[in-house]
Amino acid sequence: MSGLRDILTSRIAQTGPMSIADYMTTCLMHPEHGYYSTRDPFGAQGDFITAPEISQMFGELLGLCLAQSWLDQGAPKPFTLAELGPGRGTLMADILRATARVPGFHDAARIHLVEASPTLRQMQAETLKGHAPEWHDTVTALPDAPLFLVANEFFDALPIRQFIRDGDGWAERVIGLADGELAFGRTDALPLSELDDRLEDTKDGDLVETCTPAQTIMAHIGAMIGAHGGAALIIDYGDWRSLGDTFQALQAQKKVSPLDNPGNADLTAHVDFEALARSCAPAVHSRLTPQGVFLERLGITPRAQALAAKLSGDALETHIAAHRRLTHPDEMGLLFKVIGITPDASTTPPGLEP
Ligand code: SAH
């Protein structure tokens, strides 16, 4: 029995159906029962495994990409080296190891982590011992300085809302009760000016998703990079312009219904990169690039070969599988995408195109 199910059920009974966004926020971040607040969900034994947990090569290449971008922008000092949603801290640790020999980079870097979960903050502190990171609840707390930032599988955890086209209006998909159990429902249709542009590419019954927090966060990052310089690398699964229901729950690396086990399954939605790109002014965005293409351009194959030379047996097999998993179009290579945010088109980070 999930304590969170009772909390959600009685709240809906008192105040009516809740948006998917409210449901996601409560399930992921409830202080006592929230999915991220209470556990370490990553790794082979966890509910899901992310790119930095698959191989150190991912963080190394992102680190070198950021460092090159920092050099290209005149090696500003000091600068903010930030990560959003650092999980176990593995990605930042790999970035720091790979950049240790970039002259001046570590001296100039101030490490800032945006993380909501106290449990994960503790793990990050352990992983990043010796680097003195500072933690924040939101991006708005980042200092005014050149900003070099990574976010891997962060935006997919932000709360979305879903709307179903109905004539010239939109019905919101909500979570209510049916026979005392959590159940999807929908509101009456209303016109929604923020979805006016979607009247052009949808028909009755189509579902679109919005994620206002993602746009707000991106607007802040864009403003910082526009004002102080820097680069942001956003990596996530998703596409250019959302269409259809991508709200999903993962438990023990299997898809389950998002309503089945509130607080005990990871909830995500695909990232709408067009909405992010539209929010980054005055900074500019690169072309949306498949993760596999990006990592190949940064040299993952020679790096994989160099590491392979020191491995044999099971370790070698695992390493080869990891390379494939990160880059192959049938694995993460195509589903995951990268977008870069910089002050202007001349500063597009290595591996990406303006
Ligand atoms: N980047 C890591 C972890 C991805 S999971 C990796 O690639 O392995 C999502 C991360 O974002 C977790 O650390 C989670 O606690 C954090 N997170 C989710 N929503 C957040 C929010 N609104 N504010 C801050 N951190 C959040």
Q: Does residue 1 register a pLDDT over 60?
A: no
**How large is the average pLDDT for residues 269-286?**
98
Q: Ligand 1 mean position to 39 CA, how many Å? A: 12
Q: What is the pLDDT of residue 243?
A: 93
- Average the pLDDT over each of 33-47, 75-89, 125-139 and give the range with the smallest value: 33-47
Q: Does residue 45 register a pLDDT over 80?
A: no
Q: Does residue 2 register a pLDDT over 70?
A: no
**Spatial separation of the C-alpha atoms in residues 17 and 174, rounded to whole Å:** 6
Q: Ligand 1 mean position to 179 CA, how many Å? A: 34
Q: Does residue 59 register a pLDDT over 70?
A: yes
**How large is the average pLDDT for residues 308-329?**
97
Query: Which ligand 1 atom sits nearest the alpha carbon of residue 36?
Result: 15
117 lines ligand 1 (CB under 6 A): yes
**How large is the average pLDDT for residues 116-130?**
95
Q: Name the residue of 39, 115, 119, 128 to mutate for ligand 1: max ligand atoms within 8 A of Cβ.
A: 115
Q: Does residue 232 register a pLDDT over 90?
A: yes
Pinpoint the alpha helices (H) of the chain. 3-15, 20-29, 35-38, 51-54, 56-72, 90-98, 105-108, 118-127, 212-228, 273-278, 291-297, 300-308, 313-327, 332-335
Q: Name the residue of 154, 233, 266, 326 to mutate for ligand 1: max ligand atoms within 8 A of Cβ.
A: 154
Q: What is the pLDDT of residue 217?
A: 98
For residue 14, how far is the Cα from the chain centroid?
33
Q: Ligand 1 mean position to 200 CA, how many Å? A: 34
Q: What is the pLDDT of residues 145-160, one digit of tens each?
A: 999 999 999 999 999 9
24 lines ligand 1 (CB under 6 A): no
Q: Ligand 1 mean position to 131 CA, how many Å? A: 20
351 lines ligand 1 (CB under 6 A): no
Q: What is the pLDDT of residue 10?
A: 95
Residue 238 contacts residue 276 (beta carbons within 8 Å)? no
Name which residue sits closest to atom 16 of ligand 1, judged by CA: 85
- Average the pLDDT over each of 41-50, 117-126, 277-286 and give the range with the smallest value: 41-50
User: Model confidence at 42, in pLDDT bands (50, 70, 90)?
Assistant: confident
Name which residue sits closest to atom 23 of ligand 1, judged by CA: 116
Q: Does residue 349 register a pLDDT over 80?
A: yes
**Spatial separation of the C-alpha atoms in residues 113 and 88, rounded to whole Å:** 12
Token pair recorded at residue 191: 């016109």
Q: What is the pLDDT of residue 197?
A: 92
**How large is the average pLDDT for residues 14-27?**
97
Q: What is the DSSP code string of 100-136?
A: TTSTTHHHHEEEEEE---HHHHHHHHHHTTTS--EEE
- Average the pLDDT over each of 20-29, 45-54, 126-135, 206-215 and give the range with the smallest value: 45-54
Is the pTM value of this prediction over 0.85? yes
114 lines ligand 1 (CB under 6 A): yes
Q: Does residue 57 register a pLDDT over 70?
A: yes
**How large is the average pLDDT for residues 7-18?**
97
User: Model confidence at 170, in pLDDT bands (50, 70, 90)?
Assistant: very high
**Spatial separation of the C-alpha atoms in residues 115 and 138, rounded to whole Å:** 8
